[in-house]
Amino acid sequence: MQVSTTGSLSSACGLATGITGARFTSNSAVQPQLGVNPGGALQLLGVWEQDRWNAIGTRAINVAITSDGGSTWSAPTTLPFSQCGAASGVGAAYDRASDPSIALAPGGIAIATALAFSAANYLGAGGLSAVLVSRSTDGGSTWSAAQALLADSNGGTGTYYFNDRDMVATDPNGNDVYVVWDRIASDTTVSEPTWLAHSADAGATWDAARVIYDPGAGNQTFNNQARVLPDGGVVDIFTVPNGFNGQLYAIRSTDHGTTWPVTGAATLIANMEPVGTSNPISGGPPIRDSMYMAQTAVDSTSGKLAAVWQESSFTGGARDGIALSISSNSGATWSTPVQVNTDGGVAAFDPSVAFGANGRIAVTYYDFRDYQAGASVLATSVWLRQSADGGTTWTETRIFGPFNLNLAPPADQLSGTVGNALFLGDQQGLSWNGTSWVALFAATNASGARVFSVVAPAQ
């Protein structure tokens, strides 16, 4: 079913650009994420980017609620992370938002985060950039005013900063909440480390944000993903880009995020060799996918961890497939990556992963196996692969499509420039509702990009 709706934002909010030729795609909805109530998996909250710009970011972050495991959804509301969601307060200072994340703590308390920034000179003098958080104590019906976990105003001269790729994670057995992100610098010779903000009271108050892993001068951590283990330990999984390749690493804290491994002591999960998703239509616009961005999951019972990402080594560098690696010992060691997409003859991209009951695991992704050579319609489908035995045997189901990816909104390839790359989001949502898989993803219909939900039975 379609979850996002049209006309959810005022035509007058969040219009400042600072980038010549920038425009937004009205009613477009992309990059959804899911949060599940640890006390009742039928309650899920979904967040996504609403009205994507062709330069950087989106006009607002919207949220919707389901109380029946994904079968029906509430009308979306707008979170206070930009001018389109906040008439006053911290969020009203920013005309853009991006990278929404959401998680639920025991008792149904919801914590949502997003990046907020001004498009005008966002990584230069006078540019504004922050990681914002908002909290709901009534299951997502109402939300607190936004609070900045870290804010940069980039005044004066010197090195300027842009906060990037935030993620929130909650402890299903306690009140600890963790938000991780990276922080891009205008001077690429400095270190661009992993940052953490921690709350011990389900998001009511927050410790001062701080660096938890420094990759060293000239290096960057990217796409940090925090996951909380059943014993309360926290694992952060991130990429360190290296030219056209990268390395995927994990670090672990056993004391609620107080101490972490020192520089150079992270666990290598795998080398990453993505080539990106090429448009099979000759001369067609490029496709912005999730290169170097692993998506992760934790099994709340066994503590197993999983990571999926785009990987070209399965095809000798010809095209990306979907790689899966699993850790059975709290991130200390990881399995050799295996390919989980079934059609190696076409590009697969934007994977998500989730654990279910009794060792089940599932992966969703997009691919082009429905595209017919020479056609002007870029036929794309969403696939669900699931395993009931922890990844030994698999079944596959098409859960949506084919749809025309050509109708996705345009976005930049290099942040801060006007671009025409087709964009559904850097990540999509996948969760378990107690009996079935719930996928929340962006796709297109005749009106453009929208967020859809599918409930897929366990097999």
Peptide bond into 402 cis (omega under 30): yes
- With 90 as the cut, is the pLDDT of residue 52 above it? yes
The predicted model gives 191-199 an average pLDDT of 98
Alpha-carbon distance of 90 to 77, in angstroms, equals 18
Instruction: Give this prediction's pTM.
Output: 0.98
Both structure tokens of 160 = 């300027």
Helix (H, G, I), strand (E, B) or coil at 407: helix
Confidence of residue 279 (pLDDT cuts 50, 70, 90): very high
Q: Which of 346, 363, 353 is nearest to 287 (CA)?
A: 346
Inside any domain, residue 97: yes
> Does position 157 have pLDDT exceeding 80, yes or no?
no
Q: Is the pLDDT of residue 110 over 80?
A: yes
Of 355, 332, 317, nearest to 41 by C-alpha is 355
Q: How confident is the model at residue 240 (pLDDT cuts 50, 70, 90)?
A: very high
**In this model, does residue 243 exceed pLDDT 90?**
no
- Report d(CA 100, CA 97) in Å as an integer: 8
121 — pLDDT class (breaks 50, 70, 90): confident
8-state DSSP, 17? -
Q: Identify the three-state secondary structure at position 111.
A: strand
Domain membership of residue 444 (yes or no) is: yes
Query: What burial class does residue 47 get, using C-beta atoms within 10 Å of its C-beta: 0-12 exposed, 13-18 middle, 19+ buried?
Result: buried
What's the CA gap between 274 and 292, in Å, rounded?
7
Q: Is the pLDDT of residue 164 over 90?
A: yes
Stated as kind and residue range, the H or E segment containing 112 is: strand 109-117
Beta-carbon contacts of residue 329 (< 8 Å; ≥ 6 apart): none
- Cα→Cα distances 178→49, 117, 181, 197, 201, Å: 21, 21, 10, 6, 11
The per-residue pLDDT for 55 is 92
What's the mean per-residue pLDDT of the chain?
Answer: 96
Kindly list the distances between the CA atom of residue 36 and the CA atoms of 13, 22, 103, 143, 172, in Å, as whole numbers in the listed order: 30, 35, 7, 17, 10
Question: What's the pLDDT tens digit per position in 318-354?
Answer: 999 999 999 999 999 999 999 999 999 999 999 999 9
Is 245 inside any structural domain?
yes
Residue type, 325: S
Domain residue limits at 326: 30-457
The pLDDT of 200-218, averaged and rounded, is 97
Number of separate domains in the chain: 1
pLDDT band per the 50, 70, 90 thresholds, residue 261: very high
442 to 345, 437, 445: CA distances (angstroms): 23, 16, 10
Domain membership flag for residue 1:
no
What is the rounded distance in angstroms from the CA atom of residue 330 to the CA atom of residue 352?
20
Question: Average pLDDT of 247-273?
Answer: 96
pLDDT at 392 over 80: yes
What is the structure's pLDDT at 45? Answer: 98
Sign of CA dihedral 340, 266, 304, 299: negative
Q: Band of the pLDDT at 24, cuts 50, 70, 90?
A: very high
**Measured distance CA(201)–CA(161) in Å, rounded:** 29
Domain CATH for 254: 2.120.10.10
pLDDT band at 416 (very low <50, low <70, confident <90, very high): confident
pLDDT of the residue at 323:
98
**Closest among 122, 211, 209 to 162, alpha carbons compared:** 122
- Listed in order, strand segments (DSSP E) in 229-273 are 234-242, 245-253, 267-272
* Alpha-carbon 123 to chain mean position: 21
| Residue type at position 274 | P
Query: How many other CB atoms are found less than 10 A from the CB of residue 281?
Result: 17
Positive or negative CA dihedral for 369, 370, 373, 377?
Answer: negative
How would DSSP label each residue in 146-207?
PEEEEEE---SSS--EEEEEEEEEE-TTSS-EEEEEEEEESSTTS-B-EEEEEESSTTSS-P
Q: Which structure tokens are listed for 56?
A: 């950087």
Q: Please tell me the predicted confidence (pLDDT) of residue 155.
A: 80
pLDDT at 414 over 90: no
Kindly report the backbone phi and psi dihedral angles of residue 384, in degrees, each rounded to the nearest multiple of 5, phi listed first.
-115, 120
What string of H, E and C letters represents the secondary structure of 57-71?
A: CEEEEEEEEECCCCC
The share of the chain scoring above pLDDT 70, in percent, equals 100
pLDDT at 309: 98
Establish if 317 belongs to a structural domain.
Answer: yes
In a 13 Å sphere around the CA of 119, the CA atoms on its Cβ side amount to 30
Per-residue pLDDT tens over the stretch 9-18: 999 999 998 8
Q: Which residues pair with 117 in a beta bridge?
A: 96, 129
Place of tokens 């990556």: 337
Q: Would residue 180 count as lying in a domain?
A: yes
- Check residue 368 and give its pLDDT: 98
Residues 305-321, mean pLDDT to the nearest whole number: 98
Query: d(Cα 51, Cα 46) in Å, to the nearest integer?
Result: 16
Decide if 369 is inside a domain: yes
Model confidence at 156: pLDDT above 80? no
Residue 391 has pLDDT above 80, yes or no: yes
Q: Flag whether pLDDT at 263 surpasses 90.
A: no
Let me know if residue 5 belongs to a domain. Answer: no
Strands (E), 299-433: 305-311, 321-327, 338-339, 348-355, 361-367, 379-387, 395-404, 410-411, 421-423, 429-432
